[in-house]
Structure 1
Amino acid sequence: MMLRPRQSLLVERSLAALNQHGNTLSIGPTGSGKTIMLSAVAGSMLVEPVAKACILTHRDELTQQNHVKFGRVNPGISTSIFDAKEKSWSGRATFAMVQTLSRDDHLDSIPGIDLLVVDEAHHAAAPGYRRVIDQVLTRNPKAHIFGVTATPSRGDGKGLREVFSNVADQIMLGELIASGHLVPPRTFVIDVGAQNELSCVRRTAADFDMNEVESILNKTLINDQVIKHWREKAHGRQTIVFCSTVAHADSVCQAFVKAGITAVLIHGELSSGERKSRLSEYESGCAQVVVNVAVLTEGYDFTPTSCVVLLRPSSHKSTLTQMIGRGLRTVDPVEFPNVAKTDCIVLDFGTATLMHGSLEQEVNLDGQLCNGEAPTKDCPSCHAIVPLACSECPLCGFVWTQEEIASGVLDDFVMTEIDLLKRSNFLWCDLFGYDDALMANGFTAWGGVFLMNGRWHAVGGGKNLQTRLLAVGDRTVCLARADDWLNENESADSAHKTRRWLSQPPTEKQMLYLPPELRCDFGLTRYQASALLSFQFNRSEIRRLVTSANDNYQEAA
């Protein structure tokens, strides 16, 4: 398995920061592949045969996910688990639950750790995490502390500066949209006559006063306007609505139902079973809208969601990013064969996007991939070293003004579509010269993107791999998914685009199987012949998958 080039860059920068500072935080939003990257960092730090690492999480599913993906990235490193069921330090990498490990009787069992990885590191300032971190450093003062998170800002406003002195790298949401790993948001800021009042709402220690927000937005006339604009701009889309309070959410949910739109209500006062039951209604399509209060902000992903409605402000940009991120993931066409998703509609009836700026206008240096160290700046509030592109300090929450951001070197950079054909680990071939069928090959797998009736389709296959449909939609999204398929199933040995043999003439065996018209192409290379043969040998299955998908999407439309 290989990392995307942008993932490799974050790993390099994280290792450099760990060597320099002994600790660092790296940030990657939804879709960036945080588990893969933290596994690569940990694997690199375990080069010494006696070195040990601990990967700390707060949820069972994260522990299992990290354990499985770590094994794929680092197949030669032994692992063990320390949680409520298993308590073993036998592996060189141990995956631990913080709730279990932070207990007094378990803290004493921690051996000498060389690297502690804190997943979802915005929790690192919490007491349970601090107990573990302090114990690790007591046992080994030279232990490295590495944190990864999508959203560094904590709800209680407590900074992470006491754990991390610097931020090694930050993959911006805009980068993942530009590279096709997320769909773009289309944001509509709609003033229903409440923006002036909302701009005066007082802030609490954690966020805006949501009771004040409710008193402003929870009105029948406003709820009717929400339904009206949703019907105009997002009718038919699976939708998540974010509200200020339970009473507000209940009113909004009733407004949708009264308008004949199936909707369910989710909030923290419901039992776990009831929440699962209502989410099941949403995910099965029985309900088109789910209205929630601070429950679906983090960690919930139902990829067919293609509309997010904001009926609350947010004092932290990271919270805004989390909410909108719920609708940005791409769709697996095998899991959801009739869902066509090319963007996410964001309907902001408050002031969140006005306050923080439209996400698709995010300015960043790394939209154009560059190697080496990330340009940095010092936070004037907590003095942490952070990437130059940060508009909000990930460690203390300090916010730079737009003028301060523009005063740097950032004004020469804008987010542009990333050319995956150049950035890919693999060499992509335009099979027929019309830019409507492209393929790339490894030793085991192949990936291709094909245009049919104005819609792109990604297909992947290989030796002992079932040929399957990977994505349907925009060209960039399909290229990203096909490229990921190759990364998942190949190694660095099969990917180098500069290998000399790639440009050599086709072999006699290749010539034997090539169509007669191509045998006279004296400019054909061995690699191009390989791509053409992969297409020829799999043509019928590729055609079946692409035609079937195209038919399904036409029926759904």
Structure 2
Amino acid sequence: MITLRPYQTKAIDDVFERWLRAVLRVLLVLPTGGGKTLISAALILRLLEMGRRVIFFAHRRELIKQTFAKLVRLGIPPELVGIVMAGVEGRCVDSIAPRPETLTDDELWRLWARRRPQAPVKVASIDTFRNHARPDADVIIVDEAHRALAKSYVDVQRAYPEAWHLGLTATPFRADGKGLGDAYDDLVVAATFAELVEQGFLVAPSCWGSKIKANLKGVRRSKGDYNADELARAVNRSELIGDIVDHYVRRGNDAPAFCFAVNVEHSRTLAERFNQAGIPARHVDGSTETSERDDAIAALRDGRVRVLCNCNVFTEGTDVPQVKTIILARPTLSEGLYLQQAGRGARPHPGSPPFVLLDHAGCVTAFDAPQDPREYTLDGRKKRDKTTVTLPPRKECPKCYALVPSAQRTCPGCEYAWPAAELGKETPMEKDGELELLVAGGAVNGRVLSELTHSEIKRLKDWAALVDTWRVENKERDARGEPLREHGWILYKWRETTGLDHAPKGARIPKLTPEQKARSQERRRVRRRRASSDRRAEHEAASTTPAASDESPAPEQLATVPVRPPAANHPASFTLPLRPAHGPLETWEL
């Protein structure tokens, strides 16, 4: 049996709490290395005890194999787990196979992974399932759910409209910046990267930029990211690749490393240059034979290989805790892709050197370090307000190219001291007037505070006073258990008092934290349900319609229907809420 961590137990409880409130489609967010597969295994165990039939979807063989092993390790008999994937045998040898607890994961897969059509739990390849008969299911779980708007996954949701749906991901957004609100109704953040680092379950990287930058001018965009062919031509250059190898020698701690390349040719070139420098390296891509890929990972674990160069192979579902250096050689516009790749080195491993992120792609300055705060939402990334000038969270040391927080005065890598004029946190503050500016280089539109006009300073002070009013009112509303005001209230009041449609330049627009937003949304839902119940009671009191008989169900009870007839190996019967898969929660009786 596997012991769950506190945040994993709470995440499972939060998911069930939403399902039992008839929120059928839930997205669970947890950073890479936080144990999403373990959470899903424990959740499936609880669902089996309730008599539910479950299908777990993944898009790669490694993820399916990993999930099957963890389900069995957690205590689910392998006889109850069927595999829906091409190449898996149908003939069972359960009666003569060695018991799972005596086997390695590879042996467990080889001896116990079978199709088992009648099993209550299915671990399915989404590609194989498209041409597969639809088995009965009460719960659908999707791994790497940032893919959930792809047609194959949308078809699954349509095939099981009344099932409970759960998506698992570390990055709840797509490359084009759009959210997953069309696929899921609510979001549960199990823990943040910083929280897991604080608890000792992940390690935060030190981040280093590069002296030689790729020239991406003229590289076109395609499907939310750079055009792969044009990007490869821009980065597959001798001087850039040589800098990557030198950077690993200087900063990589001689630790096992994943190097993420643009395409196959770029990855092969990188591996060749590492080998020429005396650093054992291999190349792996999507066409590499499974046995060769497994041997490459084993070689990385046991030290025969130091750097494993790849193209879109180890981005997802790869668990190699020995890896403590990540080389980003692939510039990207996708925050999700960057976080997936960077997270491959975050798992703790006894005796390993510190985690190092060598960023040759400009990702840290574009998307922040993995441990920096970020907001998760189903709505997607909002466009930056052009009227607000803000500092990037990370800056690059001009001497050693360390990527450090923008407010830091001295570089921890080389002790370089930034001039005061370049320090964002050196921005003048007028405490008596509660004036706060968060602007590049301590300036508004290139001018320091002393150069601003009286009217500009007055507008900034008026804005700061309005923000203070918003914060005080929200504190009082929170104490009374009322929904909190969004930041749009500040803009509305600003427009009402000044006639301006935007905040003053250089001003800071505050936002509710994810926790505050979730708490506020829940209170609004409760308020709407209460108002709906009151209106219904008034209508019934005024109605002349005869009262329902004693045998009629209470109006606040959900209608329930049997999901399936009890199977021979599943005597337990159960019911699920009868309601459409999509629609506002407040319109349904709970």
TM-score range (shorter-chain normalised) is: 0.5 to 0.7
Rate the CA distance shift 1:10–1:306 in 2: closer, same or farther, 3 A. same
- Secondary structure at 2:346's aligned position in 1? coil
- Separation of aligned partners in 2, 1:82 and 1:269: 23
CA separation of 1:293 and 1:98: change in aligned 2, threshold 3 A: closer
| 1:236 and 2:254 aligned | yes
* Deviation by residue 1:455-483 (Cα, 9 ceiling, x = unmatched): xxxxxxxxxxxxxxxxxxxxxxxxxxxxx
Distance 1:293 1:63 in 2: 20
Q: 2:210 aligns with which of 190, 211, 216?
A: 190
Change in 2 beyond 3 A, CA 1:102/1:304: same
Q: Take 1:347 and 1:263, find their aligned partners in 2: how far apart are those partners?
A: 17
* Pairing 1:136–2:140 present: no
2:328 pairs with one of 293, 298, 310: 310
Q: CA deviation at 1:4?
A: 1.6
The 8 Å contact of residues 62 and 317 in structure 2, kept in 1 or not, is answered as no
Asked whether the 8 Å contact 2:18–2:26 carries over to 1, the reply is: yes
Q: 2:313 is matched with which residue? A: 295
TM-score w.r.t. length of structure 1: 0.58
Alpha-carbon deviations, 1:210-241, whole Å to 9, x = none?
33333333322233322332222124222221
**Matched AA of 2:56:** I
Query: Quick check: 1:78–1:92 contact (8 Å CA) kept in 2?
Result: no
Question: 2:233 matched to which residue of 1?
Answer: 215
Provide Cα deviations, 1:399-453, integer angstroms capped at 9, x if missing partner.
667969972244999xxxxxxxxxxxxxxxxxxxxxxxxxxxxxxxxxxxxxxxx
> Which residue is equivalent to 1:348?
359
Partner of 2:131: 103
- Tell me the distance in 2 between the aligned counterparts of 1:74 and 1:276: 26
Counterpart of 1:282 in structure 2 is 300
Question: Does structure 2 conserve the Cα–Cα contact (< 8 Å) formed by 1:31 and 1:176?
Answer: no
Q: Does 1:169 align with 2:193?
A: no
Q: Which residue of 2 aligns with 1:361?
A: 372
Q: Which residue of 1 aligns with 2:282?
A: 264
Instruction: Verify: 1:408 aligned to 2:419, yes or no.
Output: no
Specify the SS of the correspondent of 2:345.
Answer: coil
Residues 399, 285 of structure 1: CA spacing in aligned structure 2 closer, same or farther, 3 A cutoff?
A: farther
The answer to whether residue 82 in structure 2 is matched with residue 81 in structure 1 is yes
Give the C-alpha shift of residue 91 in structure 1.
Answer: 4.7
Alpha-carbon offset, residue 326 of structure 1 = 1.6
C-alpha distance in structure 2 between counterparts of 1:267 and 1:406, whole Å: 45
User: Which has the greater radius of gyration?
Assistant: 2
In structure 2, stretches of 5+ residues that fail to align are 91-113, 391-486, 488-507, 517-590
Residue 29 of structure 1 is matched in structure 2 by 31
Going from structure 1 to structure 2, the CA distance change for 1:6 and 1:406 (only over 3 Å counts) comes to farther
Please state whether the residue corresponding to 2:140 is helix, strand or coil: strand
Q: Secondary structure at the match of 1:134?
A: helix
Paired residue type of 1:189: G
State the identity as a percent: 24
Q: Distance in 2 between matches of 1:284 and 1:68?
A: 22
| Structure 1 residue 352 displacement after superposition | 1.0
- The change in CA–CA distance for 1:406 and 1:114 in structure 2 (over 3 A counts) is farther
Return the alpha-carbon distance in structure 2 between the equivalents of residues 409 and 300 of structure 1.
34
1:114 matched residue in structure 2: 138
The structure where strand makes up a greater share of residues is: 1
Asked if the contact 2:253–2:353 (Cα under 8 Å) also holds between the matched residues in 1, the reply is no
Written as runs of structure 1 = structure 2, the 5 A alignment for 1:37-116 is 37-45=39-47, 48-49=50-51, 51-59=52-60, 62-63=63-64, 65-70=66-71, 79-83=80-84, 84=88, 85=90, 86-88=114-116, 90-104=118-132, 106-107=133-134, 110-111=135-136, 113-116=137-140
Q: How many residues align?
A: 368
Q: Give the Cα–Cα distance (whole angstroms) in 1 for the partners of residues 184 and 315 of structure 2.
A: 24
- 1:360 is paired with a residue whose SS is coil
Please give the alpha-carbon distance, in whole angstroms, between the structure 1 residues aligned to 2:256 and 2:45. 39
Cα deviation, residue 174, structure 1: 2.4
Would you say the 8 A contact 2:257–2:324 is kept in 1?
Answer: yes
Whether the aligned pair in 2 keeps the contact of 1:184 and 1:342 (CA below 8 Å) is: no
Check whether the contact 2:8–2:190 (CA below 8 A) recurs between aligned residues.
Answer: no
| TM-score (normalizing by structure 2) | 0.55
How far off its partner does 1:284 sit? 3.7
8 Å contact 1:264–1:282 — kept in the other structure?
A: no
Match of 1:146 in 2: 166
The separation in 2 between residues aligned to 1:362 and 1:227, in whole angstroms, is: 31
Task: Give 1:205 deviation, angstroms.
Answer: 0.5
Contact conserved, 1:198 with 1:350, CA < 8 A, in 2? no
Structure 2: distance between partners of 1:288 and 1:211? 28
- Partner-residue secondary structure (3-state), 1:147: strand
Q: 5+ residue gaps in structure 1?
A: 334-339, 364-388, 414-557
Q: Could you tell me how far apart the structure 1 residues matched to 2:199 and 2:383 are?
A: 27
Counterpart secondary structure, 2:8: helix
